[in-house]
Homo-oligomer: A and B are copies of this chain.
Amino acid sequence: MIPTGTVRKPRGAYAKTAARRREILEAGMDVFATNGFRSGSIREIAEVVGISQAGLLHHFSNKNELLAGVLELRDDRATEYVDTAAPAGIETIRGFVRLIDYNAREKPGLVELHCVLSAEATSPEHPAHDYFVRRYIWVESFLTEAFTAMRDAGQLAAGIDPPSAARGMIAMSDGLQVQWLLRRDAVDMAQEMSNYLRPLLTVAL
């Protein structure tokens, strides 16, 4: 994981810089989500923000650095829904389902971004490859912890293996994104995720 930054209170010139950085990252998110990282260009992102390429490069010295910033911003948003500091358990799983629902309703651009970037980053040469490998390992271990705690609390159906449930839940989330992006009115991601989880649990979601 790219570490998330500490919380600061921006003021004056620093606040202006932070606001501009944020604008660039939001534009980067849009452009990478639509065109992928490889085809998305600094020029296009600068155009969306309404600044020159030189102006953009003052904030991020190259496309890879901008990508790292975009991924960090995205992770920050996710932790608003999934409390990664609390002990993992059924609340972790519930938080993920709420996050899926929130993203579908409010942040379709984040869904596009994850879908396209995770696919292109499977190539070992991609600049975000190592980030995605580490991120998937981390999410899998976090969800495995949650499912293990649930098993110990008698909340998991007989025969369900926590690491496999963790991998399954991640796969379901990623795969539903593709279907939803192709046909937004035909697929309810949070509903389908609940349908996936129900046979694994002995308690309500």
Contacts and interface: CB of A to CB of B under 8 A. Distances in A.
Contacts of A118: 119, 178
Contacts of A160: 199
A18 interface: no
A174 B168 contact: no
B119 A178 contact: yes
Interface in A146-173: 157, 159-161, 164, 167-168, 170-173
Contact of A168 (B115, B136, B183, B196): B196
Interface string A120-163: 11110000010011001100000000000000000001011100
B182 A133 contact: yes
Main secondary structure of the interface of A (DSSP, over half): helix
Contacts of A196: 168, 196
A52 interface: no
A165 to B, nearest CB: 8
Interface stretch (A3-11, A30-38, A53-61, A82-90): A30-38
A47 B19 CA distance: 46
Interface residues of A, number: 45
A34 to B, nearest CB: 6
Most-contacted residue by chain B among A112, A132, A171, A192 (CB, 10 A): A171
A175 interface: yes
Interface string A161-205: 100100110111111101101110001000010011011100000
Given A39-B39, A167-B187, 16 more contacts: A115-B119, A115-B122, A118-B178, A133-B183, A136-B183, A159-B199, A160-B199, A167-B176, A167-B179, A168-B172, A171-B176, A171-B192, A172-B175, A174-B174, A174-B178, A196-B196
Interface of A: 34-36, 38-39, 112, 115-116, 118-123, 129, 132-133, 136-137, 157, 159-161, 164, 167-168, 170-176, 178-179, 181-183, 187, 192, 195-196, 198-200
